[in-house]
Amino acid sequence: MTPMTIDHPFRTISLGTTGEFQLSRLEQEAIEKYTALHNESYDLKQLLNRLIAEYTAVMETRQQCQQAFNSLQNEYVLLAPMLHYYEEGGYLPEEEINEVNEDERVCYDTSSLLIQLDEFKIRYYKYAEKVMAIEKEHSDLQQKQEKLDATFDDFDDNYFAPIVRDYANAQIDIVALDQDFDDYKGDLYQLSQLTDNMYDTRNAFIELHNQLYQGMQELDKDLAKLFSMLRKMNGESE
């Protein structure tokens, strides 16, 4: 047998030929299709590794966004009693506020809230841009997986199987081809494990993202009521 090695970034392809005659057209196409199959496997592996890294990194960005949200929420909590008192008809006009003991006053200063709101918006918009970019890449994943499956089936049905059936006339060494194809399928199994790892990482991110988003929705309703009250206090129309 004459060894035939193809150094590929996904894995080294190790084949062989009998060395008696030139490869048939089918065998030449088989090597091209086999290499293309490895190309698609490598592309998918690269995408999966990139997605795992990006989802892991954006979780850290989400944590920074969560901290900014917590600060905003804390500022709202300080102002929430003002909203309650106003709704109950207990709002004090400005000239009477100074008559209330300082430790009994409800906070009417919204400057800190507005500062925290602006800070959170800046952080969240940057975070959202990263999430949308990653999810766009993720949307390509299923297409790449389907393409890899189709290329695998094409090679298996139209090249590997016919060459093995016609082993008596094959110039490619059947034993080497069969062994290398088995080794490749073993690497595909590792690729499927990498896919599971990527989905685990993405699911963990989505769970944390949903917690932040649900909190944002709830606080958004509270802030809308608060700002509506402030406009009424200032004599502004809705």
Q: Is 196 exposed, middle or buried (0-12, 13-18, 19+ CB in 10 A)?
A: exposed
Helix %, strand %, coil % for the chain, to 5?
A: 75, 5, 20
Give SS3 for 7. coil
Mean pLDDT across the chain? 89
Of 66, 55, 54, 77, nearest in space to 119 by CA: 66
| Integer CA distances (angstroms), 36 to 8, 80, 145, 193, 214, in order | 10, 63, 14, 22, 45
Name the residue ranges covered by the structural domains of the chain: 2-233
Q: Return the pLDDT at 89.
A: 57
3-state SS assignment for residue 237: coil
> CB-hemisphere CA count at 13 Å for 136?
6
Read off the pLDDT of each residue in 171-184 and give the average, rounded to a whole number. Answer: 95
Binned at pLDDT 50, 70 and 90, residue 102 comes out as: low
pLDDT at 105 over 80: no
- For 188-229, what is each residue's pLDDT tens digit? 999 999 999 999 999 999 999 999 999 999 999 999 988 888
Q: Which residue has the tokens 């690269």?
A: 46
Average pLDDT over residues 112-127: 94
pLDDT(91) > 60? no
Under the banding of pLDDT at 50, 70 and 90, the label for residue 232 is confident
Whether residue 50 has pLDDT greater than 80: yes
pTM for the predicted model, two decimal places: 0.83
Least confident interval from 55-69, 83-97, 161-175: 83-97
SS3 call for 20: coil
Q: Which range has the worst mean pLDDT, 87-91, 149-153, 218-222?
A: 87-91
- The confidence band for 62, taking pLDDT boundaries of 50, 70 and 90, is very high
